[in-house]
Amino acid sequence: MNDADFEGFYGRPTGDGKFAVGGVALDRPFCITRLGHFGFNLYKIEEGLRFYTDLLGFIVSDRIDFSKRMTPEQLARVQGPPIGVFTRYGSDHHALVLFNRSAREVRDGKERWPEGITTNQITWQCGSLGQISDAIKWFRAKQVPLVRSGRDMPGSNWHTYLSDPDGNVNELFYGIEQIGWDGHSKPLAMHDRIFHEAPELPQISEYQEVQDALVRGVDLASGHRETKRPEATYDVDGILLARPFKVVRLGPVRLFMKDVAAAKRFYRDMLGFTPTETVTYKGHVCEFLRANTEHHSVALYPLALRAELGLSPHTTNFALGLQVANYRQLRDARTFLTDKGCTVSELPPELLPGIDYHVIVRDPDGHAVQLYYYMEQIGWDGKPRPASKRRKVKPGVWPERLPALSDSYAGEPFLGPWE
């Protein structure tokens, strides 16, 4: 490929094989900045929804009724309600997507969702719509198969989807809908700007979409607003909440892979992640890669390690990380979840470089969810902290307070009120 192949790119070719993304020369015409949202396909969709909302505090922002897209014959084969639920912990329209696995298998075919692949999407944010457009063209030029591209509703984010070597679907997106002070999602009447293929650019702004909706007489307060929440009885650093902790960040994503080396090449060479650290645990080579300043955004482990750790054999998802606001909240979360009947455990610290104290709980389908309070941050020199200088953790021992580290409370901040 030469510069002529990239005519019309927003990230213009620089003549040396790089792209000027926002005026900065990069190896690809887009830059992933964070994990935006994530999804599970659940067999126990109703129980799973209660787990993630009532126990962990995610808020329902929208729902999909898959029955409207299925024949009566298909619908008769679905186990459980044929729904998809979009949930959030902040202002992004959705951070965690929960779909009925049975409905997806019936509607899309079981071959679309291979056994063990229970992740329905791993979604990475890029900085502009131009970057998404360039990414689509760049992947096509490299003959990378794309699942689909365009713009979905609800959520309004512009995107393209592609799969890693094991079939985990990754999404690159820009511009997810924001839910503000009133808690309403975008009205159904504004879902008309859905795109089933890569759009022509430029597109109108979100402001203009709202102005056009007002001209059409759309009631901006007619979108979903979740009001079914547990009673707020816990004083959490001065705010009354329904649980003694607040999720403030999504990720990292941990995956079991058939071929860790091939997976590393995909996330590094195709998506642009930076390798941070390689850990060998009992002969198993594990890779940790980052998208921003956090120690790792995605962690790759050999599939052979799954049984050794006693994790669910039905999924290749090792764990989904959820960061809470501080260490005290993590200790309180441990007690709260135990009191609610959850089995709380810990993983070997060698497998979690960059994170010290954490707890593992299982959702009703058996997926491991990792709650933690701190992620090591990588500075200007691009080097992680030496293992010898990391906080030493004794599993099962939880001090009342911890001494500060140089990067305590550093990293991506949570913006806005907690609820």
Q: Is residue 19 part of a domain?
A: no
Mean pLDDT of 248-266: 98
Q: Is residue 2 over pLDDT 70? A: no
Question: Quick one: pLDDT at residue 83?
Answer: 96
Q: 297 and 177 share a domain? A: no
Q: 67 and 99 share a domain? A: yes
Q: 169 and 204 share a domain? A: yes
Q: Is residue 1 over pLDDT 80? A: no
Weakest mean pLDDT among 89-98, 118-127, 387-396: 387-396
Q: Is residue 8 over pLDDT 90? A: no
Instruction: Please report, for the domain that includes residue 110, its CATH number.
Output: 3.10.180.10
Q: 139 and 276 share a domain? A: no
Q: Do 49 and 55 contact (CB within 8 A), yes or no?
A: no
Q: Is residue 164 part of a domain?
A: yes
Mean pLDDT of 58-71: 94
Percent of the chain having pLDDT more than 70?
99
Q: 163 and 261 share a domain? A: no
d(CA 409, CA 406) in angstroms, rounded, equals: 9
Give the pairing of strands 284-290 and 298-302: antiparallel
Residue range 287-345, pLDDT digits in tens: 999 999 999 999 999 999 999 999 999 999 999 999 999 999 999 999 999 999 999 99
Question: Quick one: pLDDT at residue 320?
Answer: 98
Q: 134 and 250 share a domain? A: no
Q: Is residue 123 over pLDDT 90? A: yes
323: domain range?
Answer: 239-389
Q: 194 and 267 share a domain? A: no
Domain count, the chain: 2
In which band, very low, low, confident or very high, does the pLDDT at 120 lie, cut at 50, 70 and 90? Answer: very high
Q: Is residue 267 part of a domain?
A: yes
Question: Quick one: pLDDT at residue 352?
Answer: 97
Mean pLDDT for the chain overall:
96
Residue in 86, 87, 77, 151 with CA at minimum distance from that of residue 108: 77
Q: 153 and 292 share a domain? A: no
Question: Quick one: pLDDT at residue 7?
Answer: 78
Residue range 367-409, pLDDT digits in tens: 999 999 999 999 999 999 999 999 999 989 999 999 999 999 9
Domain end (from 151, 181, 215): 215
Detail the DSSP E strand segments found in 2-95. Answer: 12-13, 19-21, 24-26, 32-42, 59-65, 83-88
Q: Is residue 4 over pLDDT 70? A: no
Mean pLDDT of 1-25: 86
Q: Do 66 and 106 contact (CB within 8 A), yes or no?
A: no
Q: 262 and 381 share a domain? A: yes
Domain end (from 215, 248, 281): 215
Residue range 161-213, pLDDT digits in tens: 999 999 999 999 999 999 999 999 999 999 999 999 999 999 999 999 999 99
In which band, very low, low, confident or very high, does the pLDDT at 136 lie, cut at 50, 70 and 90? Answer: very high
Q: 110 and 177 share a domain? A: yes
Phi, psi of 322 (to 5 degrees): -135, 120
Q: Is residue 141 part of a domain?
A: yes
CB half-sphere exposure, 377, CA atoms < 13 A? 14
Q: Is residue 7 part of a domain?
A: no
Q: 202 and 325 share a domain? A: no
Domain end (from 161, 181, 215): 215
Question: Quick one: pLDDT at residue 3?
Answer: 62
Q: 258 and 363 share a domain? A: yes
